[in-house]
Amino acid sequence: MTLRRITINKFKIVGVSLCILIFWTSFNVYGNQKYIIQIAASKTPLNINELAQKKSITGSIKEIKGNDWYRYYVGNFNSYNEASLYAKELVNKSELKNVFIRKIENVPEYNEKDKYNNLTEQSTDSITKIKINNSLQNEAMIGHKQESISTDTIVKDSTYYNNNQTKKISSENNSVSNLDDFEKNLSNYIPNFIKDIFNSYSKEKYNFRVILLFLLIVFLFILNVINVLLILIYSNQTQNSTDRYVLVHKNIYESALMSYVLGETNWEQTLKKLKKYNLPQNREILSSILLNFHENLRGVADQMVPEIFVKLGLHHDAIKEANSKHYYKKVAGIKKLTFLYPEGAMQIIPQLLNDPEDIVSAEAQTAFVRLNPENPFDFFNALTRPFTRWTQITAFYIFQLHRRNIPSFANYLDSQNTNVRNFSLRMIIFFQQLENIPEVLNMINCEVESTRFLAIKAINDLRLYNGKSLLKDKFQDETQKNKIEIIKAFSNIGDKEDFDFLKEIILSGNVSLTLEVCRSLYYMGSEGKEKLNQLNEEMNGELELFIAHISDPRN
């Protein structure tokens, strides 16, 4: 048997033993517990016969003495529920105003016969004042709510201690008794055929308040489910009807506006066809149609679109949206103004370039690029918010699409904004702007890694031979990513002067760098290939795999 199997078996044995122990202990703890119904207590012994007659109690009454108190009880039950049932019955059938269910263990009892013979008469007044000794109470009552059942107002100033806290039964039982009255009255209105069920459950088994709470929870649940179902149904229907509405009106408006744009109708005729265009929803539809037109139409037709936008007063809506406090409305407003009301847009957009909401500032930046063909990136100087890569890509896309004038991006290389510097470097590389090489080379010394990377890439892509010595100087202190880029640069600007530098890198043993050196040498030209083969021989063919790797164009 393996050690693991033995261990598992051990745990099984322990687990089973534990279960048995729990049950046995519980049985011993709980099995010897009893529940009694205390009907009276006194500092002096009472005459039980008198007590029984006075309170119309049938059944034997027993006495407990403890801590200077004599307590009189009936019954001896194994469970709380049984005791509770009996107690209710006792209160209903006797003259007792108040009884207590108590849990006890190993209680000493007087012999019944002894009690009857030895009792002395006591004032019945003592019965009305019930003070329960603290320690005995705690001993008997921990963990159980003592239930007091009464159909009448109970004795005043009656208190009990439960875990060292004083509670006034009177107020509690008053509310209980009020509820009981309510329950009693309520049961008069309940039809007979369910009255028995109601009585058996509310009175016999469950507290009325519990039922109310349960019903409340069920009600809330049903309400919740109905709410969700209604939302689902309503949202589906709303969505479908909205879609239908939009489709119908879109077709009508599109057809009317297209006729106007193509010169088939005049403006008055068109307005007549644009029914209810003043409704907010319809104005949204019109805005989206005009945006569509702007995207798809060209020439004269495209020039008419902003005119239509203004004629319909939609520019007011767009300005209002752009000035809204909600970011998503601002974005929608900026879009509409940019495409359809540029004059209005230029008054608002500069204020939004540095909006604290990233999505708004990004939209404003893109709009600025679109609206300023001469100087699309003039806003760089005043920019304090990030110019994210997403915005850069979008701005570049607009730039390319609309063939804007290309500014000299070197002018922005001294910006404090890292994003602006990086974007400028990317643009310098893409547009091959060779007029400001010193500024580009300066970027090699920037403290931001990404800027240095782009500067190295610029040296590589723009074939800036002046930068070779800088790259060599910087190599050792650079990150892995930048080192790889430096090595790549040597495939374009390197020559045999750099062989020693490259050889050092191979000898350093870094696999990625070695691979890039081999690639650079391979693509440097015939001299580079020759050097590579020579190095391979010197290293006893260790570079064989590297050469095979780089010579496969798929790698």
Partner 1 sequence: MELQYFKTIFEYIFMLYAITILIAYFILAIVSSRELFHNIRISKNTNYDAILSSPFTPQISIIAPAFNESLNIVENIKALLGLYYPSFEIVIVNDGSKDNTLQKTIEAFDLEKVPFVIDYKIQCNKVLGVYKSRKNAYSNLTVIDKINGGKADALNSGINIANSDYFIAIDVDSIIDRHALNKLIKPFFEETDKKVIAVGGVIQIANGCKIEDGQLVEVDVPDKLLPKFQVIEYTRTFLFERMGWSRLDGLLLISGALGLFDKQVVIECGGYNNNTVGEDMELVVRMRKYMTDNNQKYKVIYIPDPLCWTESPSSLKILGRQRNRWTRGLIDTIFLHKNLFFNPKYRTMGMLSHPFWVFFAWLAPIIEIMGLMYFLVLIIFGELNWPFFIVMLSFIYFFAIFFSIYAILFDHLAYHRYKKRKMLLKLMIAAWIEPFIYHPFVVYWGIRGNFDYFIRKKKAWGNMTRTGFTKPN
Binding part of the chain for partner 1, among 74-82, 253-261, 312-320, 465-473 by CB under 8 A, reads 74-82
**Cα–Cα distance for residue pair 524/517, rounded to 1 Å:** 10
Binding part of the chain for partner 1, among 26-34, 409-417, 498-506, 522-530 by CB under 8 A, reads 26-34
* Cβ closest to partner 1, residue 189 vs residue 401: 401
The residue whose two tokens read 């529940």 is 35
**Cα–Cα distance for residue pair 364/238, rounded to 1 Å:** 33
Residues between 180 and 199 with contacts to partner 1, criterion CB under 8 A = none
Q: Which two tokens stand for residue 192?
A: 């007979």
Question: How far is CA 36 from each of CA 79, 151, 205, 230, 275, rounded to the nearest angstrom?
Answer: 10, 20, 19, 54, 86
In the complex, what is the shortest distance from the CB of residue 326 to partner 1, in angstroms, rounded to a whole number?
A: 9
* Cβ closest to partner 1, residue 128 vs residue 394: 394
The torsion region of residue 548 among left (phi > 0), alpha (psi -120 to 50) and beta comes to: alpha
The residue within the footprint of partner 1, chosen from 108, 143, 191, 509 (CB under 8 A), is: 143
In the complex, what is the shortest distance from the CB of residue 139 to partner 1, in angstroms, rounded to a whole number?
A: 7
* Cβ closest to partner 1, residue 19 vs residue 300: 19
In the complex, what is the shortest distance from the CB of residue 452 to partner 1, in angstroms, rounded to a whole number?
A: 15
Looking at beta carbons, which pairs linking 165-172 to residues 24 or more positions away fall under 8 Å?
172/148
Interaction mask 290-319, partner 1, x per CB under 8 A = ------------------------------
Residues between 340 and 369 with contacts to partner 1, criterion CB under 8 A = 358-359, 362-363
The answer to whether the CB of 528 falls within 8 A of the CB of 520 is yes
The residue within the footprint of partner 1, chosen from 80, 110, 116, 198 (CB under 8 A), is: 80
Residues between 417 and 436 with contacts to partner 1, criterion CB under 8 A = 426, 430
Looking at beta carbons, which pairs linking 183-189 to residues 24 or more positions away fall under 8 Å?
183/208
The residue within the footprint of partner 1, chosen from 388, 415, 436, 533 (CB under 8 A), is: 388
**Cα–Cα distance for residue pair 500/290, rounded to 1 Å:** 64
Report CA torsion sign: 292, 295, 298, 300. positive
**Cα–Cα distance for residue pair 472/492, rounded to 1 Å:** 14
**Cα–Cα distance for residue pair 17/22, rounded to 1 Å:** 9
The answer to whether the CB of 160 falls within 8 A of the CB of 137 is yes
* Cβ closest to partner 1, residue 204 vs residue 343: 204
Q: Does 139 bind partner 1 (CB under 8 A)?
A: yes
**Cα–Cα distance for residue pair 67/199, rounded to 1 Å:** 40
Q: Which two tokens stand for residue 65?
A: 């003495």
Interaction mask 255-294, partner 1, x per CB under 8 A = ----------------------------------------
**What is the edge-to-edge ordering of all strands in the sheet holding 69-77?**
61-66, 69-77, 33-42, 100-105
Q: Does 525 bind partner 1 (CB under 8 A)?
A: no
Number of residues that bind partner 1 (CB under 8 A): 70
Q: Which two tokens stand for residue 208?
A: 């009325």
Q: Does 223 bind partner 1 (CB under 8 A)?
A: no
Binding part of the chain for partner 1, among 316-324, 431-439, 440-448, 547-555 by CB under 8 A, reads 547-555
Q: Does 26 bind partner 1 (CB under 8 A)?
A: yes
The residue within the footprint of partner 1, chosen from 6, 13, 20, 142 (CB under 8 A), is: 142
**Cα–Cα distance for residue pair 24/27, rounded to 1 Å:** 5
- The single-letter DSSP state of residue 465 is G
Q: Does 88 bind partner 1 (CB under 8 A)?
A: no
**Cα–Cα distance for residue pair 376/205, rounded to 1 Å:** 81
Rg (alpha carbons) of the chain, rounded to whole number: 47
- The single-letter DSSP state of residue 436 is T
The residue within the footprint of partner 1, chosen from 6, 20, 29, 279 (CB under 8 A), is: 29
* Cβ closest to partner 1, residue 268 vs residue 552: 552
* Cβ closest to partner 1, residue 139 vs residue 180: 139
User: Which residues are at the interface with partner 1 (CB under 8 A)?
Assistant: 4, 7-8, 11, 22-23, 26-27, 29-30, 78-81, 139, 142-143, 205-207, 210, 213-214, 217-218, 220-221, 224-225, 228-229, 231-233, 235-236, 239, 327-328, 331-332, 335, 358-359, 362-363, 385-386, 388-390, 392-394, 396-398, 426, 430, 481, 511-512, 515, 545-546, 548-549, 552, 554-555
